[in-house]
Chains A and B, each alone.
Chain A
Amino acid sequence: MAIDRRDTSRYKTFTRRAIILGGAQAGAFLVLGARMYYLQISKSDEYRMLSEENRINVRLIAPLRGRIVDRYGTVLASNRQNYRAVMISEQTPDVQETLNRLARIVEITADEQKKILRDVARAPRFIPVTVTENLTWEQFAQININEPDLPGLQPDVGETRYYPFSTQLAHMVGYVTPVYQRDIDKSPDEPLLRLPGFRVGKSGLEQTYDTVLRGQAGASHVEVNAYGRVIRELSKDNGKPGAEVVLTIDMEVQKYACERLEGESASAVVMDIHSGEVIACVSTPAFDPNQFNTGYGVAAYKALIDNPYLPLTNKSQAGLYPPGSTFKMITSIAALRKGINPRETVHCNGKYALGNHLFHCWKKGGHGSVNMHEAIKHSCDIYFYEMAKRTGIDEIAKAASEFGLGQTYDFEVPGEKPGIVPTREWKRAATGESWQQGETLISGIGQGFLLTSPLQLCVMMSRIANGGMAVKPRLTRAIGGELVPMPPAPMIDVDPAFLKVVQDGMNGVSNEPGGTAFRSRITEAGFELAGKTGSAQVRRISMAERDGGVRKNEALAWRLRDHALFVCFAPVDKPQYALSVVIEHGGSGSGAAAPVARDIMLKVLKRNLVREQASLHPTDLPSHEGHSHAPHSTVEQG
């Protein structure tokens, strides 16, 4: 059979075009191959990296915040388990119904419920959302028991900062708060700040040592799928928990001082005079640092702000008071340096005239003739007017500064205030007026422009009692197991004999009949203290009032009463501790401050026996005894 002629032509055309199609296809396959080569060989590394980034998700693990403990290991700030309940919305058919059932166990307000529903709606369905926290054990147990009836709800245990002593050390230890945007702005490279539920130190040592206490973030490398669900954990690094901070505080003393000052707006500081270690540092009233964890309630916070006793202020270092008669030691030292013989007497008839101004002694009628010892003992104002006049403000201010007033010490707790030690230059700069001699006189008795903090008064007391060593207050013994180094304190250029005169005068105040604090002395042998009372006037007494008799403090409104001050050191024969007490508007130093100081000091000295035993104990931290003994002997030599 012959093939159709036309079909031959169709066949030829077909073959030609089939070859064209085949060739085009071959070309297309070459393009595909080339593209595959480009993606899978040339650019392979790049895509491999992208693939890993896809697959692996780094999840931060919050490190456990370091504890803060006192010198004996008593826990002052730790982490407490926070019982809470979280909702995983994919595990419940009805979020609302689960919440309704939960509301039978835990109270959930309408606002809270709205917030929970919003959070749940926002989060991916498999991400747990915190529904309620800080549950009591009973509530937590009930949730656990009722878990089958609460689909989607899971009991969970988190960590919360916990301050077991609440208000008693609030100003020192400080508190932590949730992270705010400004914290992130400050350190944008710290990923931990972005962790939900993370807390940062906002006050006190929590703030100062925030980064130390915080530790280092751990990380969990997890494989996630495209929806972010974790498939498995590839590796885990738990991070480094925060360092433990050991304080110099003795919580027993701290607690006692707090109890002793309760109800007052007051402050007390106890220091080791050789090392500067702060044994107790009280400011009352205080706030509860635990409450800052979750955010202080509005009403509770308003109550803090409105309280006239200023619970938020750390009075021990930010409360400034005229030192009053507690400043007379400084005037004495300045006078002795000026060459005044301590045995020289000044006659006190209750009045002192300078030009046409009349200055008064606190004791109407006067003390008669007094030498320096007697002047300190009786706190005679006339004697110190005379000494101040002879010595001059420049010398007085120099001594005040050398003994620690009018300055800050880089103390670990933020918020120190320097106070004021007035000088001619200072007054000119501050008021534009020149210095008046009358101002020298009232400065000599600790009034006028002078402003000091209880911490400064305690430092002053330490430097007088330790023979002129310029110790600074310190609050931390060790951080993360390492002792905080203590640089040797410089000696103040002062004749130890001068300090001895002042110390003897203070001994007179407390231990000689007629001394202003004799009634508040320590009678137990070996524990005697030497102190100095102070009553800082906060109002001007008019001539008319003076003529009619100065009103008793009790007759005045609280705000107008004198501040009661007392500084002391003990034991008197072998000084070891200094203490300052300031009771705002407490009336008089001898009446209000001295008895409190006596009790606190006695507690300190009794605890000292424990401290000595503890420092001998081999398991205890290396003590600072080596540092503290050398200057001690200096005092004995003087």
Chain B
Amino acid sequence: MFDLTRFTGHDMKIGEKLTEFNWGLLFLITLVSCIGFAMLYSVADGSFSPWAMRQMIRFAAGVVIMIGVALIDIRLWMRAAYPMYVVALMLVAAVDIVGFKGMGAQRWLDLGFIQLQPSEVMKVALLLALARYFHGLALDEVSRIRNLIVPLLLVVVPVGLVVKQPDLGTAILLTISGGTIFFAAGLAWRYFIIGGLAVLGAIPVIWDRLHDYQRNRVFTFLDPERDPLGAGYHILQSKIALGSGGLFGKGFMAGSQAHLNFLPEKQTDFIFTMLGEELGFVGGLFLLTLYCLTLIVAFNTALQCRNQFGRLLAIGVAVSFFFYVFINTAMVMGLLPVVGVPLPLVSYGGTAMLSLMFAFGLLQSCHIHRNLEIGRN
């Protein structure tokens, strides 16, 4: 047995915290991001502008944010959970009012100095709020219906707003993140079965409310060859790019699909395709392995946590991260319909990178304060 009291106090020194900081995780994240920089460099035909350099700056800022967030006491985060959620919710709602359209969807909020994507903020805030809520419930209280009203609202309200924007990808991710916390908190299986059935039943209703382009994506997913020059074009070209990469790829900066613009959105959603084309099966598998290792580290943190808030937050961050990776890669491989989900740490995008680093900061905070026991109240 080691001395627990050493960690139960609220006054861990900065030095101690830095010692407990999971440097391995930062290393993995940096490695993944570097692959991203390389791909962005390649997309720009061997140039740091316009993407690679800015992405590197954001990553550097992200690392600072991550360390900053990590060093803040986990109990502070617990206290800040609800207020942050409220702010995020207002931001999301604000987009509907003052946000401007980007790519046919209202997603951005111009704060003057930065174009903020409130849905990204919401992803983190939702995890915090739900973890905070379930932290306060004993196991046998979790499955009581009256205790589920609040967390359900926490999920449904932002999801509804995001769907209206419309940003189906984020809505799905928010739902999944929320569901993960419900699941990890120990919600009885029957709710998941009921929920699953409810989703199945709601499909016709949802289908009715989908935009044409969203429906087309589903049709296209079911049969990409249906319209190879139209809606099926992206996914077909993506498969061609991946497939033609072969075992070792066409070589760095030598992907014809990507460089001749057959590949759409290659600096964002389809960046994994480009990697697959240029670096082949080996390169793609290497990146997936790095993601796996990152997840293992994150799960390890979650399992080591001695407080429920940290556990739920850590696993929420980990599983959300996993779904980002999975939805994006499965999409570019033609396993899922096209949804606008970037590849975490690799795709070009400022808010996504910063909010992800923020989330990893929270994970690190869970890790640093993993031995801290926090009462339910």
Which residues of A approach B to under 8 Å, CB–CB? 1, 3, 6-7, 9-11, 13-15, 17-18, 21-22, 25-26, 28-29, 31-33, 35-37, 39-41, 43-44, 46-48, 50-52, 54-55, 223-227, 231
Contacts and interface: CB of A to CB of B under 8 A. Distances in A.
A582 to B, nearest CB: 63
Given A22-B295, A225-B259, 8 more contacts: A17-B186, A21-B299, A28-B326, A35-B334, A36-B242, A39-B276, A43-B243, A47-B239
B8 A1 contact: yes
What band does the interface of chain B fall in when counting residues whose beta carbon is under 8 Å from A? 35 or more
B128 interface: no
A33 B288 contact: yes
A32 B138 contact: no
B260 A36 contact: no
Interface string B27-56: 000000000000000000000000000000
Q: Which of A7, A37, A39, A55 has the most CB of B within 10 A?
A: A39
Contacts of B138: 6, 10
Given A40-B280, A51-B256, A10 B308 contact: yes
A7 B308 contact: yes
B202 interface: no
Q: Which of A1, A44, A52 has the most CB of B within 10 A?
A: A44
B105 interface: no
A18 B326 CA distance: 18
B4 interface: yes
Contacts of A41: 246-247, 281
| Interface of chain A: mostly helix, strand, loop or mixed | helix
Contacts of B322: 25, 28
A1 B373 contact: yes
Contact of A40 (B8, B242, B295, B330): B242
A226 B234 CA distance: 12
B171 interface: no
Given A1-B8, A40-B247, A40-B280, A17 B184 contact: yes
Nearest to B243: A47
B329 interface: yes
A39 B330 CA distance: 12
13 contacts: A10-B138, A10-B308, A11-B308, A14-B311, A14-B315, A18-B299, A36-B276, A40-B276, A44-B244, A44-B246, A54-B262, A55-B256, A226-B237
Contacts of A9: 139
A54 B257 contact: yes
Q: Which of A40, A46, A48, A52 has the most CB of B within 10 A?
A: A40
B184 A226 contact: no
Given A6-B139, A9-B139, A55-B260, A36 B239 contact: no
Contact of A39 (B243, B259, B261): B243
A44 B257 CA distance: 14
Q: Which 10 A-B pairs have the closest CB atoms?
A: A47-B243, A51-B244, A225-B260, A13-B186, A40-B281, A226-B261, A48-B244, A44-B246, A47-B244, A226-B262
A11 B138 CA distance: 11
B184 A227 contact: no
Given A1-B8, A14-B311, A40 B245 contact: yes
B236 to A, nearest CB: 9
A224 B260 contact: yes
A46 B243 contact: yes
Contacts of B185: 10, 14
Contacts of B256: 51, 54-55, 223
Contacts of A29: 288, 291-292
B199 interface: no
Given A40-B280, A40-B281, A227-B261, A35 B333 contact: yes
B288 A40 contact: no
Contacts, number: 143
A517 to B, nearest CB: 77
A635 B326 CA distance: 98
Given A14-B311, A51-B240, A25 B260 contact: no
A156 to B, nearest CB: 27
A18 B315 CA distance: 8
A144 to B, nearest CB: 34
B374 to A, nearest CB: 10
Q: Which of B184, B186, B244, B285 has the most CB of A within 10 A?
A: B244
B284 A36 contact: yes
B367 to A, nearest CB: 15
Interface string B242-271: 111111000000001101111000000000
Nearest to A13: B186
B319 interface: yes
A231 B260 contact: yes
B302 A18 contact: yes
B257 A39 contact: no
Nearest to B238: A39
Given A14-B184, A36-B242, A44 B333 contact: no
B241 interface: yes
Q: Which of B139, B257, B329 has the most CB of A within 10 A?
A: B139
Contacts of B373: 1, 3
Contacts of A225: 259-262
B335 interface: yes
Contacts of B183: 17, 21
Contacts of B326: 25, 28, 32
Q: Which of B185, B280, B333 has the most CB of A within 10 A?
A: B333
Contacts of B180: 21
Interface string B275-312: 01000110011001001100100010011001010011
Contact of B285 (A26, A33, A47, A51): A33
B54 to A, nearest CB: 24
A28 B324 CA distance: 12
A17 B179 CA distance: 12
Interface string B182-204: 01111000000000000000000
Contacts of B291: 29
Contacts of A3: 306, 373
Nearest to B308: A10
A36 B260 CA distance: 23
A14 B301 CA distance: 13
A32 to B, nearest CB: 5
Contact of B333 (A25, A39, A48, A51): A39
B322 to A, nearest CB: 5
Contacts of B284: 36, 40
A621 to B, nearest CB: 51
Nearest to A56: B256
Contact of A25 (B140, B241, B261, B295): B295
Contact of B241 (A33, A51, A223): A51
A28 to B, nearest CB: 5
B280 to A, nearest CB: 6
Contacts of A46: 243
Contacts of A17: 183-184, 186
Given A32-B326, A35-B333, A54 B260 contact: yes
Given A14-B186, A18-B303, A40-B247, A35 B335 contact: yes
Q: Which of A14, A52, A227 has the most CB of B within 10 A?
A: A14
B334 to A, nearest CB: 8
Contacts of B295: 22, 25
A617 to B, nearest CB: 57
Interface string B124-148: 0000000000000011100000000
Nearest to B280: A40
Contacts of A44: 243-247
Contacts of A18: 184, 299, 302-303, 315
B288 A32 contact: yes
A545 to B, nearest CB: 80
A430 B244 CA distance: 73
A496 B294 CA distance: 110
A243 B185 CA distance: 86
Interface in B334-351: 334-335
Contacts of B306: 3
